[in-house]
Amino acid sequence: MYEEALGTLIDYRVGFCNIDQAEYIKAMPPTGFLTSPIGYVRLHGRNPQDWKQEFGRAGSSLSRHDYLYSRDELREWQPRIEHLTSLADNTFVFLNNDIGGKGVVNALQLCFDAGRHAGTGARRVDTPGILQSSVSSIASGRFRTRYLGAGRRAVA
């Protein structure tokens, strides 16, 4: 049945969002489909708390985005992203694990690995000083986000 749905999307050139998310009952498996001239990937994080929303027991909606992908987890997506990039006019990869700047760190890791994997060698990615000082703290788990209420966050 999904082949028919994908065929319809292709016929009408409607974009498809390839997603990565925590595993739970209604979770979609990782894909690398291209149904329009634009490749689209969203990495939501794999916070195991996400599955609780399936049963109406979700905690804070912010905590669902509090996830730092490991290099191995990002590398799982590299072939899919490269495939989309080779066929699409443009490819967009969004990292929705934005709590505490973790999406920025993972985006930089993806860019670095993409350059190295494509045979162009590792390339320098200029980053703001505040991010450079935080990256090691984020990766080591010493980085915390405090919630200030009303959607505001402070980074510690």
CATH code where residue 99 lies:
3.20.20.410
Q: Record the tokens describing residue 147, joined without a space.
A: 């919630």
Q: Record the tokens describing residue 3, joined without a space.
A: 């082949």
pLDDT band at 87 (very low <50, low <70, confident <90, very high): very high
**Lowest model confidence (mean pLDDT) among 59-68, 98-107, 124-133:** 124-133
pLDDT band at 11 (very low <50, low <70, confident <90, very high): very high
Separation CA 38–CA 93 (nearest Å): 11
Separation CA 7–CA 63 (nearest Å): 36
Residue 56, pLDDT score: 63
> Which domain covers residue 100, as residue numbers?
2-155
Residue 112, pLDDT score: 81
Domain count, the chain: 1
Is pTM beyond 0.75? Reply is no
Nearest to 71 by CA among 1, 6, 135, 151: 135
Separation CA 62–CA 44 (nearest Å): 12
Residue 145, pLDDT score: 39
